[in-house]
Structure 1
Amino acid sequence: MATAGRAVLVSGAIIVLSLASLLIFPQIFLRSMGLGGSAAVLGAALGALTVLPALLAILGPRINALRIPLPRTHATAPGQGWARLAHAVMRRPVRTLIPVVALLAVLTLPFAHVRFGGADERVLPEGTPARTVAEHVHADFPHDIPTSPIRVLLDGGGADQADRLAERIRALPSVTAVQVTAVHEGRAALITVGYTGEATGDGAYEAVRGLRALPTPPGTTTLVGGAPAVDLDLVHDLGARLPWLTLAMLGVTTVLLAVAFGSVVLPVKAVLMNLVSIGASFGAVVWVFQDGHLSGVLGFTPTGYLEPNLPVLIFAVLFGLATDYEVFLLSRVREAWDHTGDNRTAVAAGLQHTGRIITAAALLLVLVVAGFTTGQVVFAKLIGVGMITAVVIDATLVRTLLVPATMRLLGRWNWWAPPPLARLHRRTGPDTTTTAPATAAAPLITEAAR
């Protein structure tokens, strides 16, 4: 509890606050995910800090009853392979860092041409009744006005003004048809507008932008709605609030990690590592679901767009999960550093003692999330692929290669902190004098280095 329990507390707080940052958005979907996710993680963290120690105290030595007989390879301490890997990376940090960063940059590259848009019946699998009906309507009942038209409300105008506005609308590019649908007592008029292509296509969005750029008739107000307009408004609203979400998560993570590890450099490095793995995940999502690669394998129809709510949700979840792995690894590294004062020994000890635990946690998460990829709706598949990609990258390339390489290059700068932060860490940090000294692992680590 003095060491791992503290890591659970810090990790749980970061994930809860990361998910709670979704409350910045007014969209009910994101707010409900933020509340539900925060409540689940908070409950799990509290259980790990209260119920689990109580159960361990009650069970005592009986916790090892009914052990599974696993084959033993050789009588060496666990984690020796992880220590060897850490030392191999730290012997050639630059040679390790450059190709790994290049690979992650290539994986992130598709995100540069991401396109956000709404969803239609194509998010459902082929043969679904709702999708079949929509396809038959498009194919067998051609008409100028689509089933999801753009609606223009002329508030304060009558039929004459609506007719004049309709004439100007017909001259816009991507507009295929215009019809004054209704006039309400000469004080308001509704105009229905058709467009080229799908409701989630460039033609529809270009028509919405053109309509909103038209001058408003004197004494009237023009409002543009409909499914294409809703898509554009959603993207605009999410984009306006996304910097605040990012700032909140980065700020919370940096402050909590700085207090937990007594360092200014480690939190900044942890945040950058998180962004690297998330960027590679987003690149994979764009390459698969927007560009349509592997659509046959995963069984979906690409639309050329990503639904904008999903990347925001994935970003918040993955940022917390990536920090989770980082906290457990760096907590053990910090303990070893406090005992040895040797940066290379501390990094190797941290990787040695957390390698099996983090790998098992990553495998469990991948197995659980893999169920999303078998879902029928594209949204579930997208979440599954995005999360699996990030977890695999974070638990392999980032943890085993990037973290040891960067910490070797930074050396003692990893642990630099201004005096006030150092004093705060000493007051709030664990009493490592009561724990098993990390120097007990020094012979193993030295042997692994050789």
Structure 2
Amino acid sequence: LVALTLIPALLATLGTRVNRFSVRLMRSGDRMFWLRFSRWVMRHPVAVAVPVTAGLLLLGAPFLGVKLGSPWATVLPEDAESRVGWDIVAQQFGPGELAQIIVVNTSETSTLSPDNIAAIHEFVQRMEADPRVRRVDSILSTDLDVTLEEFQFLYSLSSPETIGGPQVAFALDELVSDDRSLSMIRVVPDHGPVSDAAHDLARDIRASPPSGDLDTNVTGVTPDLQDTVTRMYSDFPKVIIYVSVMTYLALFFLFRSVVLPLKAVALNILSILASFGALVFVFQQGHFQSLLGFTSQGITEASVPILLFSIVFGLSMDYEVFLLSRIKEEYEATGDNTHAVAVGMEKSGRIITSAALVLILVSAGFASGDILIVKTLGFGVALAILIDSTVVRALLVPALMRLFSSANWWAPAILGGGTRPGTRPS
């Protein structure tokens, strides 16, 4: 809206005065650099395209081992109040105390029926024998020296607390609903909520809950994190496909070409994939953590790839449209593919580089922050823009434009495409 209304009005008002304080720093030399560089790339298209593509794929390879997770208190600075509180609890009571896995059992009759008590008893014994578990709180977790049959008899009474004493009364009050249709079991892991052991434990509990006629739901910090990641990524592939298809169609009608939009989308995804791999290499695997000032949590924060894709795909496509629009104008005027690419790079390279530099500097500011998720996102955006504006736009685009030659501009004639009459494919 600003670009279409306010800026034209300001330019019309200022007229030539808009250039009064312009700074002229080697403009002709800068343009000649992009002209000569693009021509050099197009003289060696295969030698440039193959290693650059391989390098980007190699940079993105660590993403194959991504472990998605959600942030916990440990991503905060060590002097943050909530981080201090977490550290105290973890040191005094164990890291799993604030990561309890809650097993919620419901029954249409009573969760305290003999069969259900037997099912709960088997589950509790299994959990107490698990080395990943620090403690289990249930209606059977008392100091009473009683057998399963005695527990079944005790909870069959209308007022079991009169015989079981205060421990049974406390368990009923804390873990059982008034109508006895619901009961809870608290499983306290011996590890923090984002640890592999806690995640494996939560999955095992969900895979093998108490039996009987109990309907079981598992909640708590770790299961919540798992469900959040699952929900976030259940439709993410559909989003990628939708955005890619819509972008392809928009660029197809803009450039009247089948190949150019396909290359634009593919190169965008390639640069984003490379930045994803770098994020895993640095923030999940912990490389350069001393240099960047963070402690790796062994995971990639789940929202970062989604946010990074959303931000970088749009920005990268802007640069692609700037470049291809200028190339298309020159191609329509001359019919020479190689000349059009060189002139397009000459006249848009400086603009793209300057715009990218601004965004890189802004994103680098976020990367210097103390909050790990902010640092990760800032680093990812800065790196993705750097890769896209240099490696992709300066090397891959002219190399591929040269390799595809006149095929770049082909489209079915019925859709307004086809090679321009009188063109000189090169």
The TM-score normalised by the length of structure 1 is 0.79
Structure 2 residue corresponding to 1:58, chosen from 10, 13, 16: 13
Which residue does the alignment assign to 2:142? none
Asked if residue 175 in structure 1 is aligned to residue 130 in structure 2, the reply is no
Asked if residue 208 in structure 1 is aligned to residue 202 in structure 2, the reply is yes
Query: What is the identity, as a one-letter code, of the residue corresponding to 1:147?
Result: L
Distance of 1:72 and 1:386 partners within structure 2: 31
Distance of 2:126 and 2:103 partners within structure 1: 13
- Assess if the C-alpha contact under 8 Å between 2:106 and 2:181 holds in 1: yes
| CA apart distance, 1:182 | 0.5
Which residue does the alignment assign to 1:122? 74
Query: What is the identity, as a one-letter code, of the residue corresponding to 2:64?
Result: A
Query: What is the identity, as a one-letter code, of the residue corresponding to 2:340?
Result: A
Which residue does the alignment assign to 1:3? none
| CA apart distance, 1:158 | 2.1
Q: Looking at CA atoms only, which structure, 1 or 2, has the larger radius of gyration?
A: 2
Query: What is the identity, as a one-letter code, of the residue corresponding to 1:150?
Result: I
| CA apart distance, 1:164 | 4.3
Distance of 1:282 and 1:303 partners within structure 2: 17
- Assess if the C-alpha contact under 8 Å between 1:172 and 1:207 holds in 2: no
Which residue does the alignment assign to 2:344? 350
Distance of 1:173 and 1:87 partners within structure 2: 65
| CA apart distance, 1:413 | 0.6
Asked if residue 303 in structure 1 is aligned to residue 297 in structure 2, the reply is yes
* Secondary structure, aligned partner of 2:297: coil
* Secondary structure, aligned partner of 1:79: helix
Asked if residue 87 in structure 1 is aligned to residue 39 in structure 2, the reply is yes
Structure 1 residue corresponding to 2:100, chosen from 136, 149, 165: 149
Query: What is the identity, as a one-letter code, of the residue corresponding to 2:98?
Result: T
Which residue does the alignment assign to 1:279? 273
Distance of 2:198 and 2:126 partners within structure 1: 17
Q: Structure 1 unaligned runs (5+)?
A: 1-45, 427-450
| CA apart distance, 1:353 | 0.6
* Secondary structure, aligned partner of 1:152: strand
Query: What is the identity, as a one-letter code, of the residue corresponding to 2:176?
Result: V
- Assess if the C-alpha contact under 8 Å between 2:89 and 2:97 holds in 1: no
| CA apart distance, 1:300 | 1.4
Query: What is the identity, as a one-letter code, of the residue corresponding to 1:386?
Result: G
Which residue does the alignment assign to 2:248? 254
Distance of 2:194 and 2:331 partners within structure 1: 54
Distance of 2:280 and 2:413 partners within structure 1: 45
Superposition map of 1:261-272 within 5 A: 261-272=255-266
With 172-181 and 329-338 compared, the bigger mean Cα shift is at 172-181
Distance of 1:133 and 1:77 partners within structure 2: 59
Asked if residue 184 in structure 1 is aligned to residue 136 in structure 2, the reply is no
Structure 1 residue corresponding to 2:64, chosen from 100, 112, 125: 112
| CA apart distance, 1:142 | 4.0
- Assess if the C-alpha contact under 8 Å between 1:262 and 1:417 holds in 2: yes
Distance of 1:78 and 1:141 partners within structure 2: 63
With 172-181 and 219-228 compared, the bigger mean Cα shift is at 172-181
Superposition map of 1:131-142 within 5 A: 131-142=83-94
Root-mean-square deviation (Å): 2.1
Residues 377-424 of structure 1: per-residue CA shift (max 9 Å, x gap): 001100111011111111111011100001100011100111232269
Distance of 1:87 and 1:245 partners within structure 2: 37
Which residue does the alignment assign to 2:406? 412
* Secondary structure, aligned partner of 1:200: coil
Structure 1 residues 388 and 192: CA distance shift in structure 2, 3 A: same
Structure 1 residue runs of 4+, over 4 Å off?
none
Superposition map of 1:309-328 within 5 A: 309-328=303-322
Count of matched residue positions in the alignment of Structure 1 and Structure 2: 377
Residues 242-287 of structure 1: per-residue CA shift (max 9 Å, x gap): 1111111101110000011110101110011001110111111111
Which residue does the alignment assign to 1:5? none
* Secondary structure, aligned partner of 1:356: helix
Structure 1 residues 105 and 142: CA distance shift in structure 2, 3 A: closer
Which residue does the alignment assign to 1:329? 323
Asked if residue 243 in structure 1 is aligned to residue 237 in structure 2, the reply is yes
Query: What is the identity, as a one-letter code, of the residue corresponding to 1:253?
Result: T
* Secondary structure, aligned partner of 1:190: strand
Distance of 2:10 and 2:363 partners within structure 1: 29
* Secondary structure, aligned partner of 1:375: coil
* Secondary structure, aligned partner of 1:184: coil
- Assess if the C-alpha contact under 8 Å between 1:151 and 1:225 holds in 2: yes
* Secondary structure, aligned partner of 1:67: coil
With 124-133 and 147-156 compared, the bigger mean Cα shift is at 124-133
Superposition map of 1:193-232 within 5 A: 193-214=187-208, 217-232=211-226
Distance of 1:194 and 1:126 partners within structure 2: 24
- Assess if the C-alpha contact under 8 Å between 1:154 and 1:162 holds in 2: no
Distance of 2:320 and 2:26 partners within structure 1: 29
With 116-125 and 81-90 compared, the bigger mean Cα shift is at 116-125
| CA apart distance, 1:195 | 2.0
| CA apart distance, 1:219 | 3.2
Which residue does the alignment assign to 2:365? 371
* Secondary structure, aligned partner of 2:310: helix
* Secondary structure, aligned partner of 1:414: helix
Structure 1 residues 214 and 414: CA distance shift in structure 2, 3 A: same
Paired-residue identity, %: 40
Distance of 2:345 and 2:21 partners within structure 1: 29
- Assess if the C-alpha contact under 8 Å between 1:108 and 1:281 holds in 2: yes
Distance of 2:214 and 2:244 partners within structure 1: 45
- Assess if the C-alpha contact under 8 Å between 2:68 and 2:302 holds in 1: yes
| CA apart distance, 1:224 | 0.3
The TM-score normalised by the length of structure 2 is 0.84
* Secondary structure, aligned partner of 1:50: helix
Distance of 1:308 and 1:87 partners within structure 2: 42
Structure 2 residue corresponding to 1:400, chosen from 382, 388, 394: 394
Query: What is the identity, as a one-letter code, of the residue corresponding to 1:94?
Result: V
| CA apart distance, 1:197 | 2.2
- Assess if the C-alpha contact under 8 Å between 1:172 and 1:210 holds in 2: no
Which residue does the alignment assign to 2:155? none
